[in-house]
Amino acid sequence: MSKYAKATGQFDKGVKGSVSLNFCLSGGKYCDTVCRQHPSNGGACYALRPQGLYPSMAASLSAKEGVDPGDIAEQAIGEVKRKNKPIPWFRFSVAGSLPPRNQVTPKLRDKLVELVEWLRHNNVPIHMPVESHSKAGYYQGLLGDRVVVRLSVQNPEDFLTYEGPCSLVVGGGEKHRKGNSIMQQRIAASRAVAKARRQLTGRATMVCPAIKGLRDKNKSKCGKCKACSMPHVDVVYPLH
């Protein structure tokens, strides 16, 4: 029995029944320091806060770093197959990231293909984000058209020209303004960036509705919005 008990989990941004699969701590073993939100860069990775608030969560993610990620993927396959209800949304890396190519074991390679193929066969929409160009190229090559591998672009200028499915985090360093909260400023800036990408590339680009409605009890959630699983849609996330 693994020290982390279950391979898969849930997450608040997802609709009821959504499933997550994480392989490491946020800022951990598999997170590339190219990420602007990496703690080594003084970044504001949103997943660090819950790790600090919930020691059991951090312990579980830490335990995953000590096993073959292929074992985690294999366990995840068994868990999703035992679900007695359809899965409305599957999210990789709510915390942490997928391993870089040089740490992908043969078992992970095979089991990841098997897992994604099963999800696709069962019409489960998938969000698979990665933080580097090298990971995006590797995993899209491995998984083909079974899934959209979405690059989290680190340079705002690159976001305006990158040709594939991608996302960008916008925000940081704002000051409080009367009648205009920091989150409102970030949402406004995100809308402007999304508009600029649409105009320059012709690709559909939107601001994540789950973040736009953080204080709205009736906000959209992942699974209700399926943009991150769509190859022709790009997404801007206000820093949160």
Mean pLDDT of the chain: 90
Nearest to 124 by CA among 15, 199, 33, 22: 15
Residues 188 and 202 in one domain: yes
Structure tokens at 47: 């997943």
Q: What is the pLDDT of residue 27?
A: 87
Residues 51 and 93 in one domain: yes
Taking a C-beta distance cutoff of 8 angstroms, is the pair 208, 14 a contact?
A: no
**b/e code 135-168 from CB counts within 10 Å (16+ = b):** bbebbbebbeebbbbbbbbbebeebbebebbbbb
Residues 90 and 163 in one domain: no
Residues 49 and 100 in one domain: yes
pLDDT tens sequence across 93-127: 999 999 999 999 999 999 999 999 999 999 999 99
At what angle are helices 106-121 and 133-143 packed, to 10 degrees? 60
Q: What is the pLDDT of residue 47?
A: 65
Q: What is the pLDDT of residue 1?
A: 39
Among 115, 130, 152, the domain boundary falls at 152
pLDDT tens sequence across 124-144: 999 999 999 999 999 999 999
Structure tokens at 201: 């590339």
Structure tokens at 63: 């335990």
pLDDT band (50, 70, 90) for residue 20: very high
Nearest to 154 by CA among 27, 24, 32: 32
pLDDT tens sequence across 29-85: 999 888 887 877 777 777 667 676 667 888 899 999 999 999 999 999 999 999 999
Question: How buried is 95 (Cβ within 10 angstroms: 0-12 exposed, 13-18 middle, 19+ buried)?
Answer: buried
pTM assigned to the model? 0.91
142 lies in which domain range? Answer: 1-152
Higher pLDDT, 199 or 183: 199
Q: What is the pLDDT of residue 58?
A: 85
Residues 69 and 188 in one domain: no
